[in-house]
Amino acid sequence: MLLKLGGHCSFQDFSEESCHGPGSDEMVQEENEFTNRPDNTAFTQQRLPAWQPILSAGIVIPGFVLIGLAFIGVGVALFVTSRSIQVLERDYTGDESGTPCASCANSNVQNSFGFCFPQSQGPVFFYYGLSNYFQNYRRYGTSKDDNQLYGVLKYFTSPSDNCAPYAYNSNNQPIVPCGSIANSMFNDTFKLYQTVNGTRQEVSLDGKGIAWWTDYNIKYRNPTNNPLKDAFNGSNSGLFYRNFLINPIYWSKPAYELDTSDPSNNGFVNQDFLVWMRRAALPDFRKLYRRISQDKYPDGLPAGNYSLEITYNYRVYRFSGKKKVVFSNVSWMGGKNEFLGIAYLVVGSMCVFMSIVMLIVYAKFKFPDEE
């Protein structure tokens, strides 16, 4: 195509016009007259540079296969790891015959039962587990006073309303720590013995560092009183207690005497207390009780016969709950969790399956004549 421009003419026109003073003024004026003219920018004209990904079957189907394979890979890893984790679970609720500790529930003194433990790989964790126990019930979950648990003395004498009906006892004495969670703290205690050549040898358990770092260092605090007892009975606390504080109703000992062996592990920063206060997500849960001491058993728990001595205090049979103890070692993925591995495998294979379906669909459409 040829475009003939009247170059000479237009040039002359232009120069002529530019020579005329008023003419050029008019031009300028005309420009200014269009005050309502919209701006010509990429944004206002919706012409922003954009990237439109053009996907094709050549990307989508292999993409699906890859994602599927990745999921299967993760699933296999999880599954294998989970399989390698040793778990030993013993129900000790004691309301059924044939279970270990069959008569535990009836005798609330010390009970014990024995079991075998195979050689463990790596450190062993010792959990207690409860089932049918609704720690996630909302009113239960809010039934505590965070200020009190932060060690603010003011809230010792006037606990938050959230704690009701475990804020005051019937004599209007404030309860510390108040609330339903604290009140229902798990109070069975365990001692683990290894039977070596007929003699019972106590396995030392490590109760340090089983609670969350934030709970131990930030959220929960003891009052600064020294000894701690003063904060609870009013002396040296700077407060005048009209009524003496009392322990939670279900508690047999005060908060400042939770661990008699270690004075620093008392009050609100007691590790067992902290573990209990961190609520479980679901009604069947386990909580870390102790670790098998790494100092004495650096390679994990050796194989052998063990017996567990239980101080049976916690009543669960009324709500048909179950209590159990769990020994487990852990891996990079935490405790034993076959669900996750299986779920990964299922979803991964679904992706692969889907990609096969897509391939068939694609082939059908791309080569319809060959059908």
Instruction: Examine residue 71 and tell whether it contacts another protein (CB under 8 A).
Output: yes
Write down the least CB distance from residue 169 to another protein, Å.
Answer: 12
Span 341-360, contacts to another protein by CB under 8 A: 343-344, 347, 350-351, 354, 358
Instruction: Examine residue 171 and tell whether it contacts another protein (CB under 8 A).
Output: no
Instruction: Examine residue 183 and tell whether it contacts another protein (CB under 8 A).
Output: yes
Q: Looking at 91, 335, 349, 356, which residue binds another protein (CB under 8 A)?
A: 335
User: Do 151 and 162 contact (CB within 8 A), yes or no?
Assistant: no
Residue 370 to residues 121, 263, 357, 367: CA-CA distances in angstroms? 59, 83, 18, 6
d(CA 182, CA 213): 19
Instruction: Examine residue 366 and tell whether it contacts another protein (CB under 8 A).
Output: yes
DSSP summary character for residue 260: S
Nearer to another protein, 213 or 240 (CB): 213
Instruction: Examine residue 66 and tell whether it contacts another protein (CB under 8 A).
Output: no
Write down the least CB distance from residue 236 to another protein, Å.
Answer: 33
Span 240-259, contacts to another protein by CB under 8 A: 250
Write down the least CB distance from residue 356 to another protein, Å.
Answer: 12
User: Do 72 and 349 contact (CB within 8 A), yes or no?
Assistant: yes
In the numeric block, the tokens 């530019």 are attached to: 18
Cα 291 from chain centroid?
Answer: 19
Write down the least CB distance from residue 225 to another protein, Å.
Answer: 27
Q: Looking at 15, 97, 161, 295, which residue binds another protein (CB under 8 A)?
A: 161
Q: Looking at 19, 28, 40, 295, which residue binds another protein (CB under 8 A)?
A: 40
Nearer to another protein, 207 or 234 (CB): 207
Nearer to another protein, 78 or 245 (CB): 78
253 CB burial (10 A radius; 0-12, 13-18, 19+): exposed
Span 83-102, contacts to another protein by CB under 8 A: none
Nearer to another protein, 129 or 223 (CB): 129
Instruction: Examine residue 331 and tell whether it contacts another protein (CB under 8 A).
Output: yes
Q: Looking at 332, 369, 370, 371, which residue binds another protein (CB under 8 A)?
A: 332
d(CA 183, CA 140): 10
Q: Looking at 2, 55, 109, 116, which residue binds another protein (CB under 8 A)?
A: 55
Instruction: Examine residue 37 and tell whether it contacts another protein (CB under 8 A).
Output: yes
Nearer to another protein, 6 or 53 (CB): 53
The set of long-range contacts for 224-227, using a CB threshold of 8 Å and a minimum separation of 24, is: 224/151, 227/256, 227/263
Sign of CA dihedral 57, 61, 62, 64: positive
Q: Looking at 27, 80, 196, 361, which residue binds another protein (CB under 8 A)?
A: 361
For residue 230, count other CB atoms closer than 10 A to its CB: 16
Span 100-139, contacts to another protein by CB under 8 A: 125, 127, 129, 131-139
Strand, helix or coil for residue 251: coil
User: Do 128 and 356 contact (CB within 8 A), yes or no?
Assistant: no
Instruction: Examine residue 78 and tell whether it contacts another protein (CB under 8 A).
Output: yes
User: Do 78 and 341 contact (CB within 8 A), yes or no?
Assistant: yes
Span 259-298, contacts to another protein by CB under 8 A: 278-288
d(CA 318, CA 144): 24
Pick the piece of the chain touching another protein (CB under 8 A) from 2-10, 63-71, 222-230, 253-261.
63-71
Q: Looking at 93, 111, 143, 225, which residue binds another protein (CB under 8 A)?
A: 143
Q: Looking at 23, 238, 304, 334, which residue binds another protein (CB under 8 A)?
A: 334
Count CA atoms closer than 13 A to 96's CA, side-chain side: 10
User: Do 132 and 323 contact (CB within 8 A), yes or no?
Assistant: no
User: Do 362 and 57 contact (CB within 8 A), yes or no?
Assistant: yes
Count residues contacting another protein (CB under 8 A)?
94
